[in-house]
Structures are given as C-alpha cells and as structure tokens.
Amino acid sequence: MTVRELYEFAIETGRALDPRGPGELVRQTEALQADYEGLDEMARRRFDTERLSNPFGDTRIACGDDATQVGRLICGIDIDGTEVLLADNMRRAGRPVDLVLAHHASAIGGGMGSRLETIWPQVKMLADFGVPEHAAHKLVRPTSEGDQRSHNLKITQIAQALEMPLMTIHSPADAYLFQEGCRVLAEDQPRTVGDLVDICDAWPEVAWLIERGKGTEVAVGDKRDPLGRTYHAFYGGWNPTPQVFEALCDAGCGTLWVLATSEELNQVARDRNASVVVVPHYPADNLGLNMLLDDTMTHFGDFEVVETSNFHRHDRRTVA
C-alpha cells in the first residue's frame, strides 16, 4: 500500500458512509467545479483544487512522496512536530516510519482544505432528525464561515525537512463513528441514559481510557432518565451550537450524545429537560480510526501502527 492508496481508500470509504449519500457528494463536486471555472487567475491560485476530487475538507496529504510504500506508520489524534521528530528518530534507530497520520487537521498546514465541506453534513443530519432543512441551513452557515484552509506550516515544514510523508484523515474516520452510533441506536436500542453509558463504556477504546481514570459521563440528566429521541453529534467536524440544540429539542430531542460539551449546551439541556451524554473524545475518535484501519488492512494487507498522541490501536476484526 502506498500513501496515495491509503488516501484514496479513505476517501472512497468515506463517500460510502457519508449520511448525505454518494449522489449529493457528486453534486457538491460539480457545483465547486462550476464555481472554480468562474474564478479569475488570482482566485484560482488561492483555491484548493483538491476540493474538486475530494469531498472531505479535512482529509489531505499535507506533504511527502505519495508513492511511498507504507509498512509502518505513526498515528495520533493531535499530531505536532513532536510526533514527526519521533518518526525520524525511529527511522534512525532502525525502525523506519513511512507515514505520520493525524486525525485532527486544523493545526497542520495543508491538512484542512475547507471548513465548509467539513461542517456541511450537519445540515443533512439535522434535517433527517426533523429540523426543517431551510432552518438547518441558516443555523449551520455561521459556523462554516471564516478561513477555509489551514495555513500554519510549522509542523508541515518539519515533515518536509525530514522528507516524512504527513497526512490527515478526519471526516472519513468520523463517518465510521457516525455509522456505529446509528447502529447502536437502531440495534442495541438503549432505553435509558444509563443504558447508553454502559454501551459506550463497553467500547474497547473507551475501556482502555477507563483503566486510566475516565469513562463516559452524564453531563446533564440522570442515568435513570429515559433517553427519548437521541441525536448523536459524531460527524460534521464541530459540536452543535446552542441554537442548533434548541432546534433539535423543538424537533423532539431527548438526549444529545456528544464527544464534548459546554456550559451553554448544558444549559439548553436543563432548560429543555433534555440529557447530555459525553463519550470521551479521544476514544471515540479512536473507534472511527480503528474501523478505518481495519478495513484498510483487510483491503491492502496488514501494516504496523505506532500509537501516539492519544491514539490507541484496537483491531476490531479479531478482538471483541
């Protein structure tokens, strides 16, 4: 497997799992192509042309030779220069690392191509839950605005100087987590807040963190409370805003299932008699990455994964 093959496989699987469906992703790309063709020369130079073939704004090869064969990679949630230097030190010690793979993209120059394409799936998710689509657009749009690309090149330049390939995979991995959330609600059918906590704590990635002192928490509510309709905010790059949560409550949300919360979200839950369940962020990210890595290895063959930056490798193909 080459760096390029891993990248393209992540995009392919992400397309298959994205809640918007492949047809909508094609329409997104076609609309971007039309916009690009209407730009002047300077605007084209500033445009991230990877957006014309990759529908995920937070998945990029930041630097390096994409033809590099990958036998061992370093994987972490929040990669910085430390992990890139670790990869180089391992190479010098006779354990060559062929790729540094980050989950979160915004801190890596070239790792984030478009904030818009990362957050826009939330419109579909909200509409599917019952928020009117026109309202969902207006609620999500303010969060999507601002600088679209990552420009801090500090980490990328370290990788370039060491000739170390550096890649980010965010939305395609989160798509696995999103689909697992759908499966839990449809198949396991938790009835109470406590049921949902128990399911999350049984995930091997969360169990690994429980051994180190932290598990799933109930930020608002009681384990004895009925779940009601549950919205899992596992996709779309960012948490719902308080205004989005209000709209979800209007649509019948009884429990917000998230990777992190805030006092503003918690206050909405108190005011609306809803619950907030928080599965630890890094283990949840690990679940999506592990599922993606499992499928990648099934497709290309196994390779070694070095755990760094709050990533814990768990092979879900063979271990319960």
pLDDT in tens, 224-274: 999 999 999 999 999 999 999 999 999 999 999 999 999 999 999 999 999
What span, in angstroms and rounded, lies between the C-alpha atoms of 219 and 278?
7
- Is there a single domain that holds both residue 71 and residue 183? no
Cβ distance 309 to 74 under 8 Å?
Answer: no
Please give the pLDDT value at position 147. 66
Mean pLDDT calculated for residue range 74-96: 97
| Residue 47 and residue 158 share a domain | yes
- Any domain includes 216: yes
Give the pLDDT of residue 144.
Answer: 81
Backbone angles phi, psi at 167, to 5 degrees: -135, 150
Question: Residue 318 — pLDDT band, cuts 50, 70, 90?
Answer: confident
For residue 151, the model assigns a pLDDT of 87
Give the range of the structural domain holding residue 251, as residue numbers without chain letter.
177-281
Q: Given pLDDT bands bounded at 50, 70 and 90, which one contains residue 17?
A: very high
**Based on the domain organization, do 51 and 89 belong to the same domain?**
yes
Distance (Å, rounded) from C-alpha 3 to C-alpha 21?
A: 26
Q: How many CA atoms lie within 13 A of 104 on its CB side?
A: 16
Helix 3-17 crosses helix 171-183 at what angle (to 10 degrees)? 40
Task: Please give the mean pLDDT across all residues of the chain.
Answer: 96
Report the CATH number at residue 204.
Answer: 3.40.1390.30
Regarding whether 70 and 160 lie in a shared domain, the answer is yes
For residue 281, is pLDDT > 90?
Answer: yes
pLDDT tens sequence across 111-120: 999 998 999 9
The answer as to whether 312 is a domain residue is no
Q: Which two tokens stand for residue 106?
A: 């915004």
- Counting the structural domains of the chain, the total is 2
pLDDT at residue 319, as a whole number: 56
Which segments within the chain are labelled E, that is strand?
60-63, 72-76, 99-102, 166-168, 217-220, 229-232, 253-258, 275-278, 304-307
What is the arithmetic mean of pLDDT over 72-84? 98
Whether residues 121 and 59 share a domain: the answer is yes
Strand ranges across the sheet with 217-220: 217-220, 275-278, 253-258, 229-232
What confidence tier does 54 reach under pLDDT thresholds 50, 70, 90? very high
* Shared-domain flag, residues 212 and 146: no
**154 in the same domain as 81:** yes
* pLDDT of the residue at 166: 98
pLDDT value, residue 290? 98
Residue 54 lies in a domain: yes
pLDDT above 90 coverage of the chain, percent: 94
State how far Cα 297 lies from the chain centre.
Answer: 19
Cα–Cα dist 158/81, whole Å:
6
pLDDT digits (tens, 9 = 90+) for 105-162: 989 999 999 998 999 999 999 999 999 999 999 999 988 876 678 889 999 999 999 9
Q: Is residue 313 part of a domain?
A: no
